[in-house]
Amino acid sequence: MSMSNHDANYTLGRTSHETTRLIEQSKIYGETTRSLCVRAGITTGMRVLDIGSGAGDVALTVAELVGKTGQVVGVDINPAILDTARQRASDKGMTHIEFIAGDARTIDFDKKFDVLMGRFVLMYMSDPVSALKQLITHLKPCGIVAFQEPEYTLYPSYHHPATPLMNQLYRWILDVFEHSGAHLDMGMGLYRTFIEASLHPPEMHLQAPIGAEDKWVGYRYMATIFQSLLPLIEKYEIATVEEVDIATLAERLRAEVLLSKRPFFLPFHVTAHARLTD
C-alpha cells in the first residue's frame, strides 16, 4: 500500500451516472456485504457508523439488520450523493438512518457506536491506518470494525492468452487507479491496516462475482465501470474513447467468453472484521 499526503482523486467521479452505478454495484456485491455484517456480529439494536456511505446501500443493508431499535449514521464527503441516500431511506420508511455530509475522519459525534464500517472507501484515503486509528475512537469498548475493499493487484496472475479483452480492461483499470493515487491493494492491505491501527488480526474473506451465461449482469456492469472511469482514462492518456468503445463493450465481453470458454470475473473484494482490543 503506497502512501502519499493526498487523498486519491475519486476515480469514478461524482456524476449521476456514478450514483446509479453505485446502486447497480450493490446488487452485485451486496450479498458479500450482508455476509460480512452477519459474520461480524451486527445485530438488532446496534448503533452503526458507515463511512463513505455514497448512495446509502451499506447503510440500508445495515438498517435492516439493526432494526428500528438500532441506528445507522452514514457519512459522505460528497453532499450531493446524500440526497439520493436520504430519499432511498425515506422511500423504505427507514427513519433510523441519518446521513451527514463531511469528511469521516474529522467529524465529531455526540454518542459512541457499536460498529464502524465502510465499503470501497479506505482505498481513496491517503493514510488508511491513521484514518482507522482516528475512526475507532468513536467506538464503544469491544466495538466491531468491518470493511470491504477491492483488491486489484491479483489480476496479473490471472491473465490468460485466450481472454485478450479481459486482460486489456484490467490493465486499464490498474493504470487509472494507480494514476489517481488510490490504493490498488486496499483489500489485502486491510490486514496491515487493522493491526497497525492496534486492532486484533481480522477474519478475512476474498470473493469475486464470476459468470459466463448469456444474460449475466457482469458484462453490462463492466461497461458502467468504464463509463465512470472514462474521463480519467482520457485525462491520463491511458486509452481513447474509441479504444474503450463503451457502446459495444458488454457485447464484446460476452463474445469473448463464448469463444474462450473462460468465464469473466469482476473485481475481487476482500472483507475484514475484528473487534477492538480490550
Ligand X SMILES: C[S@@+](CC[C@H](N)C(=O)[O-])C[C@H]1O[C@@H](n2cnc3c(N)ncnc32)[C@H](O)[C@@H]1O
Q: How far is the CB of 155 from ligand X (least distance, A)?
A: 19
Q: How far is the CB of 122 from ligand X (least distance, A)?
A: 9
Counting residues that bind ligand X (by CB under 6 A) gives: 23
Among positions 60, 76, 149, 239, the unique one binding ligand X when judged by CB under 6 A:
76
Task: Write each residue from 56 to 75 as x if it is in contact with ligand X (CB under 6 A), else as -, in one continuous string.
Answer: -xx----------------x
Q: Does 78 bind ligand X (CB under 6 A)?
A: yes
CA 237 to chain centre: 25
Q: Enumerate long-range contacts of 34-37, CB under 8 Å, 24 or more apart.
A: 34/61, 34/65, 35/205, 35/271, 36/146, 36/148, 36/205, 36/271, 36/273, 37/61, 37/62, 37/65, 37/117, 37/146
Nearer to ligand X, 27 or 159 (CB): 27
Tell me how far apart the alpha carbons of residues 218 and 278 are, in angstroms, rounded to a whole number.
Answer: 42
Q: Does 21 bind ligand X (CB under 6 A)?
A: no
Among positions 71, 85, 99, 124, the unique one binding ligand X when judged by CB under 6 A:
124
Where does the chain have alpha helices with state H?
A: 16-40, 57-66, 79-91, 128-135, 164-180, 186-196, 217-235, 241-244, 246-260
Among positions 37, 47, 52, 144, the unique one binding ligand X when judged by CB under 6 A:
52
Spatial CA neighbour of 25 closest among 125, 137, 119, 122: 119
Nearer to ligand X, 120 or 170 (CB): 120
Q: Interface residues for ligand X in 241-260 (CB under 6 A)?
A: none
Q: Does 119 bind ligand X (CB under 6 A)?
A: yes
* Contact region with ligand X (CB under 6 A), list: 47-55, 151-159, 230-238, 265-273: 47-55
* Contact region with ligand X (CB under 6 A), list: 45-53, 175-183, 188-196, 213-221: 45-53
Q: Exposed, middle or buried, 104 (CB in 10 Å: 0-12/13-18/19+)?
A: buried
Tell me how far apart the alpha carbons of residues 58 and 74 are, in angstroms, rounded to a whole number.
Answer: 9
Q: Which residue is nearest to ligand X (CB)?
A: 54
Q: Does 51 bind ligand X (CB under 6 A)?
A: yes
Nearer to ligand X, 106 or 277 (CB): 106
Tell me how far apart the alpha carbons of residues 129 and 199 are, in angstroms, rounded to a whole number.
Answer: 11
Q: Does 221 bind ligand X (CB under 6 A)?
A: no
Among positions 46, 54, 62, 70, the unique one binding ligand X when judged by CB under 6 A:
54
CB 147 within 8 A of CB 270: no
What's the Rg (C-alpha) of the chain?
19
Q: How far is the CB of 52 from ligand X (least distance, A)?
A: 3
CA-CA distances (angstroms) from residue 268 to 65, 164, 234? Answer: 25, 19, 25
Tell me the three state secondary structure of residue 101.
strand
Residues lying near ligand X in the complex (CB under 6 A) are found at 10, 22, 26, 51-55, 57-58, 75-78, 81, 103-105, 119-121, 124-125
